[in-house]
Amino acid sequence: MNYIVFDLEWNQCPGGKRNSNSRLPFEIIEIGAVKLNEQFETVGSFQRLIKPQVYKWIHDSIHEVIHVNYRDLMKGIPFPQAAREFLEWCGNECQFFTWGNQDLMELQRNLKYYEMMYLIPGPVKYYNVQKIFSIGFEDCKSRRSLEYAADFLNIKKEKNFHRALADAYYTSEVLKRIDWDCIFPNYSIDVYQNPKSRKQEIHISYPFYDKYVSREFDDKEKVMKDREVSSTRCPLCHIPAKRKIRWFLNNSKIYESISVCQKHGYVRGKIKIRRTEENKFYAVKTLRVVTAEEAEELREKKESLRLKKQKKRRVTIK
């Protein structure tokens, strides 16, 4: 098994979002990766500059961060060639590690643009080292920069950040300093290639919470009407929990609820409804045991939202 720690740099439309290609808002311009063996020892590295095909100039904000010369990019290779070389270098048996949750999604989006999605069948299991760093060293919720993690762990900074191979190197060095028992139970699933049927739906039990990803629906209203989407089970014993606060939509466009497990107490549910590029909809639900205080805060939040809506209706009627 190869452990592939990779990082991408990408460009976006220099003319702004209005002129952006909706099928490829971020065009990958560099791939960098470090290969580790099963003992987390570095056994190889990979780096390719990619010649832009969609955006013919570097966006100013991108150039300020990564300092890539456009003339150097024009000497690069086309993305299809770089992607094939990268995946061949990874090997048939590999697991991906990234800093954050965007690189793997953008890799798949670029593959889809070039009709190469078959090279990475999804949904894709991977490890978000940014999240695992928080679980291993902080509060499980914060999401720090890679440079912060390097400083926190006293990793010698010999390379400039914000270049693909350098960031892959620093991510691998952070990974080497995290306890294995913290890493492997806390894998992630990238759902850019989301489940299409009930059979493909995803159910994951993590040490402290459960996650579920639904199949696709034709419209948003049908999602919350689905019995499996709206169900609540205790993430510790997996027995159905009795609903105490029904699902409601908060200001962040997330549905929330509180249920009660007779053995483990209050269970907080969160549902995000996501839209695919083909205008289908699916749900990502998390269920987590919380304290009575957290449950009461959510009840107060729901009541506050109800009063605001009521007041707004009165003003509209007048």
Work out the burial of residue 132: count CB atoms within 10 Å of its CB; fewer than 13 is exposed, 13-18 middle, 19 or more buried.
buried
Q: Look over the chain and give the mean of its residue pLDDT values, rounded to a whole number.
A: 92
Backbone angles phi, psi at 158, to 5 degrees: -105, -10
What's the pTM? 0.87
> Do you find a cis peptide bond into 240, omega within 30 degrees of 0?
no
Is it true that domain 2-186 has CATH number 3.30.420.10? yes
**pLDDT above 80 (res 230):** yes
Per-residue pLDDT of 237-265, as tens digits, reads 999 999 999 999 987 789 999 999 999 99
Question: pLDDT band at residue 17, thresholds of 50, 70 and 90?
Answer: confident
Q: Where are the domains of the chain?
A: 2-186, 195-317
The amino acid present at 234, given as its one-letter code, is C
The amino acid present at 45, given as its one-letter code, is S
Q: Residue 273: its pLDDT value, please?
A: 96
CB 204 within 8 A of CB 280: no
Average pLDDT on 296-304 reads: 93
**pLDDT above 90 (res 70):** no
CB 34 within 8 A of CB 19: no
Q: Which residue has the higher pLDDT, 313 or 148?
A: 148
Question: pLDDT band at residue 315, thresholds of 50, 70 and 90?
Answer: low
DSSP 3-state assignment of 305?
helix
**pLDDT above 90 (res 159):** no
Q: Which residue has the higher pLDDT, 98 or 252?
A: 98
Question: pLDDT band at residue 49, thresholds of 50, 70 and 90?
Answer: very high
Q: Residue 63: its pLDDT value, please?
A: 59
Range of lowest pLDDT (46-50, 70-74, 103-107, 187-191): 70-74
Which residues, in sequence order, are CB contacts of 108 under 8 Å at separation 6+? 117, 120, 122, 124, 190, 192, 193
Percent residues over pLDDT 90 in the chain: 79
Question: pLDDT band at residue 317, thresholds of 50, 70 and 90?
Answer: low
CA–chain centroid gap for 238, Å, is: 25
